[in-house]
Amino acid sequence: MTAQPATPDAGPGALRRTIEQPGGFATVVELVPWAGALQDPKGAKPLKIAADLAGNTRITALSITDNAGGFAKLPPDVLGEQAAKHGHDVIVHVACRDRNRNAMQSLGWNLLSRGLSTVLALSGDYPADGYEGMPRPVFDIDSVSLLELLRKLGDEATAKAIEAGTDPEAAAKASRFYLGAAIDPFKRLERDLVPQFLKLAMKARAGADYAITQVGYDARANSVLKQWLAQTGLDIPVIANAFVLTGGVARTFNAGKVAGCVVSDALLEVCEREAKSPDKGRAFFLEFAAKQVVMARGLGFAGIYLSVHKDAGDVTKILELADAHPADDWRSVIKDISWALPGTVQPFELDGDGLATPEIGRAYAASLTPEARKRARGAVSPMYKFDRFLHDRVFTPGTPGFNTWSKLYAKVEPTVLDKPLHVLEQAAKVPLFDCRDCGDCSLPDIAYLCPESHCQKNQRNGPCGGAHDGQCEVPGHTCVWADAYQRLKPYGEELTMLERDIVVQDNSLRRTSAWGNTFLGRDHYARAAKARAKGAEGEQA
């Protein structure tokens, strides 16, 4: 018996149809735009891949990256439109690095107008280089708020079309996005890995319809992700990643030159050896990718995401090799494609094949006991304890402290004392938190760590995918979310740290008193509370 082939469906909307079909398995092929105009000779290869794959019903969609690696390239919608002309369904990547929220809205309407409604929402790699030096990154919103923005934008467009008399099903088809999110299950440390899972849940709440994994070469990690989703009841289809290696790519990933893409030393050794063969390891690397396809089918992923940058023939070859593996023997490939970094956390016990079982990993379980948490609380810094104490008594709405300070700010703000009070606030917050005076404070959201000064991408709704071993993808910093996870765990709050409203920072509050904005109901907490109240009123009406 051979493996079940990808569900044959192609053309506009094929990804959604395939993924939503029980047991559907999508094959997505990545295309990377080039630095130049559409007619630039550099585009010949990706354009040829799109053309060569036209009419191939095994290919569910082409997926176009957005300034991948932080380098300026042709926008993905331009290449996406060319791919669509060949009849392909297209995933357009949208990264938060280069556009503010207004540009995102414009882009959203632009994409809907052009029928490019399947999107992968990303924070985006930190900029790498640019015209006359390093560009200033935007990161006005993050991937979670981008998902929410695009979902709302699509819902509004649909509602307007229905109001104008369009059939509801046709309106939704024409005006709603099919939204994707990224998830990186290949982290070594618990403090990097678990927040990734928590953020995926938040992305699903924000509107993600499907997810795609980051580049990684560890079948065990893929099984951990599936096990985590099963145990937390998070029902989101996930497409597994298979970036086809070469010796050079393996070296680049191993050296940490592409944020979030990891190749272990042991896997690098194998890749280096294979790359010395007469075919430069081509047969080995295509078989390696085929095994990842087999694994994805066996573990119940919703599809495979193939990053093949040479030619369309490689895609066909990988699928043929994968089909040749007996479906009932998919576990036999696992050991060949499990290349975890040494010391990788085991949230679950593993079975004989090295795949996650439903049993919680012994060491991880031991760290979750009340005794372990109590011991860990003994090492918590007095300053963090004080921050929590102060927040509970003064900054929590409804407490006597909050009410007193609200009254005080209401009296002081219209007077000349307003400025000195702001100076006093900064005198406390700059040395304690490296505060940047954004005016819409997220300290309580991130265990009293400032995202403006401690996160290079100002991520307010969980970590981006770039952290490695607790370090930010931008060298010289720890990851603010890994640190927050560590701070919250002794209190048993780490698993719920993202079970809260999505934070969208209001830039009109910059250089104004965050305390005043909190006590007088102008910050994101107050805005979220008002939105909740409005929603509840709407439900009652």
Interface with ligand SF4 by CB under 6 A: which residues?
455-457, 459, 463-464, 466-467, 472-474, 477, 479-481
- Cβ neighbours of residue 495 closer than 8 Å, sequence gap 6 or more: 194, 198
Q: What is the enclosing helix (H) or strand (E) of 212?
A: strand 210-213
Q: Which is nearer to ligand SF4, 287 or 483 (CB)?
A: 483
The CB-of-473 to ligand SF4 minimum distance in angstroms stands at 5
The CB-of-450 to ligand SF4 minimum distance in angstroms stands at 11
Any bridge partners for residue 64, and if so which? 31, 92
The CB-of-313 to ligand SF4 minimum distance in angstroms stands at 37
Q: Residue holding tokens 């082939």?
A: 5
User: DSSP state, 138?
Assistant: -
Q: Which is nearer to ligand SF4, 117 or 456 (CB)?
A: 456
The CB-of-531 to ligand SF4 minimum distance in angstroms stands at 25
Q: Which is nearer to ligand SF4, 112 or 194 (CB)?
A: 194
The CB-of-141 to ligand SF4 minimum distance in angstroms stands at 14
Q: Which is nearer to ligand SF4, 314 or 483 (CB)?
A: 483
- Give the whole-angstrom CA distance, residue 459 versus residue 155: 25
Nearest to 473 by CA among 77, 127, 212, 93: 127
Q: Which is nearer to ligand SF4, 79 or 480 (CB)?
A: 480
Nearest to 91 by CA among 60, 47, 126: 60
Q: Which is nearer to ligand SF4, 50 or 479 (CB)?
A: 479
Is 146 in contact with 121 (CB distance < 8 Å)? yes
- Give the whole-angstrom CA distance, residue 418 versus residue 403: 18
CA angle, 505 then 508 then 514, to 5°: 70
Q: Which is nearer to ligand SF4, 388 or 477 (CB)?
A: 477
Nearest to 178 by CA among 351, 286, 302, 342: 302
Report the length, in residues, of the chain.
541
Is 194 in contact with 207 (CB distance < 8 Å)? no
Phi and psi angles of residue 307, each rounded to the nearest 5 degrees, phi first: -100, 100
| Signed CA dihedral, 522, 526, 528, 530: sign only | negative
Q: Which is nearer to ligand SF4, 153 or 479 (CB)?
A: 479
The CB-of-273 to ligand SF4 minimum distance in angstroms stands at 32
Any bridge partners for residue 289, and if so which? none
The CB-of-194 to ligand SF4 minimum distance in angstroms stands at 14
The CB-of-137 to ligand SF4 minimum distance in angstroms stands at 10
The CB-of-266 to ligand SF4 minimum distance in angstroms stands at 25
Is 371 in a helix, a strand, or coil?
Answer: helix
What is the rounded end-to-end Cα distance, in angstroms, of the chain?
Answer: 58
The CB-of-187 to ligand SF4 minimum distance in angstroms stands at 11
Is 498 in contact with 232 (CB distance < 8 Å)? no
The CB-of-342 to ligand SF4 minimum distance in angstroms stands at 21
Tokens standing for 184? 């990186």
Question: DSSP readout, 50-105?
Answer: HHHTTT-TT--EEEE-SSGGG---S-HHHHHHHHHHTT-EEEEEEETTS--HHHHH
Report how far Cα 22 is from the mean position of its chain's Cα atoms: 25
Q: Which is nearer to ligand SF4, 70 or 490 (CB)?
A: 70
Q: Which is nearer to ligand SF4, 25 or 186 (CB)?
A: 186
Q: Which residue is nearest to ligand SF4 (CB)?
A: 472
Q: Which is nearer to ligand SF4, 57 or 344 (CB)?
A: 344
